Amino acid sequence: MLLLLIEEYLDNQKIKGKLSKNTELSYRRDLKKMAEYLESCGIREAHRVTATALNSYILYLEKQGASASSIARYIASMKSFYYYLFKRHRIGEDPAEELQAPKAEHNGTSPLTKEELNLLLAPPKDGGAKEQRDHVMVVLMCSVGLKASELILLKPEDLNTKLGYLTCRRDNARRTVSFDGQTGQLLEHYLESVRPYFIKDSQDAPLFPNCRGGWMSRQGLWKLVREYGERCGAGREVTPQRLCVGER
């Protein structure tokens, strides 16, 4: 019964476009592992799952050597799944509502793992202009190491996609950073097909405008990155700092 509900949940999320392909695969794997554990405990029906059972599963994962970031991802998938069942009256109460991510992961500058970075760097599935813009910004922070304050000040004139470098500024200082050919192609596509959706071509305008065509604030970028991480199913809060210090 649990496995059937998991497939129903994933199909629903896929139809609504709420999960990227990578997130869907990750959630399917994580939720099936949860169902196998619960079945080994004699729990096969969703309405019999309790908060105690889920906490026992988390303890089991810790004993198996799962990292704090992996456990946080497992919790994210369970929260989403059981909330879906609860809102549709398939269960009487949400057993995952009070689950907490490991405290060790609360440091905003702790690095992302390679697995988490792969989720974030995967191209958005059927993404619109906003999702494609967000993806390019995340790629520049992850792959090039741009800081939030540098990213929001970029102009089109700061790019040289042919030679593979960009010039960024921060506190009246400038620095030049290089990027690979794949990132260059991504930037060229963004300039030609995505950026015009937000703003008419202007060298003096921001490279990454907000949805109104103006300059993006640092607070706006933090919100963008956090929401992007949630859409990708990273499993914990994603910040610009974490993007810069993730495992490569």
| pLDDT reported for residue 4 | 95
Q: Which contiguous run of DSSP H or E holds residue 212?
A: none
Indicate if 82 and 169 belong to the same structural domain. Answer: no
Residues 36 and 159 in one domain: no
CB 186 within 8 A of CB 121: no
Range of the domain at 47: 2-105
> Domain holding 11: CATH number?
1.10.150.130
- How many other C-beta atoms lie within 10 A of the C-beta of residue 157? 10
Give the number of domains in the chain.
2
Whether residue 25 is found in the same domain as residue 136: no
- Whether residues 31 and 99 share a domain: the answer is yes
Give residues with Cβ within 8 angstroms of 240, minimum separation 6: 141, 147, 148, 151, 221, 222, 225
Residue 201: its pLDDT value, please? Answer: 62
Both 32 and 136 in a single domain? Answer: no
From its phi and psi, is residue 202 left (phi > 0), alpha (psi between -120 and 50) or beta? Answer: beta
In angstroms, the CA 186 to CA 181 distance is 9
**Same domain for 6 and 91:** yes
Q: pTM of the predicted model, to two decimals? A: 0.55
Amino acid at 162: K
Q: Give the end of a domain, one of 70, 85, 105.
A: 105
Helices 21-40 and 218-232 cross at an angle (nearest 10°) of 50
CATH of the domain at 206: 1.10.443.10
Task: Please give the Cα distance from 177 to 198 (Å, whole number).
Answer: 26
Question: 80 with 133, same domain?
Answer: no
Q: In whole angstroms, how far apart are CA 91 and each of 53, 112, 121, 210?
A: 15, 34, 35, 41
> Does residue 129 sit in the same domain as residue 69?
no
- Residue 15 makes CB contacts below 8 A (sequence gap 6+) with none
Same domain, 74 and 183: no
Of 58, 81, 105, the position where a domain reaches its end is 105
Distance CA 120, CA 122 (A): 6
Same domain (yes/no): 123, 232? yes
Please give the chain's pLDDT, 248 residues, in tens: 899 999 999 999 888 777 777 788 889 999 999 999 999 999 999 999 999 999 999 989 888 888 777 888 899 899 999 999 999 999 999 999 888 766 544 444 566 777 778 888 888 876 789 999 999 999 998 888 888 889 999 999 999 998 899 998 876 778 888 888 899 999 999 999 999 999 876 667 899 999 888 999 988 898 898 888 887 777 667 887 777 755 44
Same domain for 92 and 151: no
Do both 217 and 130 map to the same domain?
yes
* Domain end call among 62, 83, 105: 105
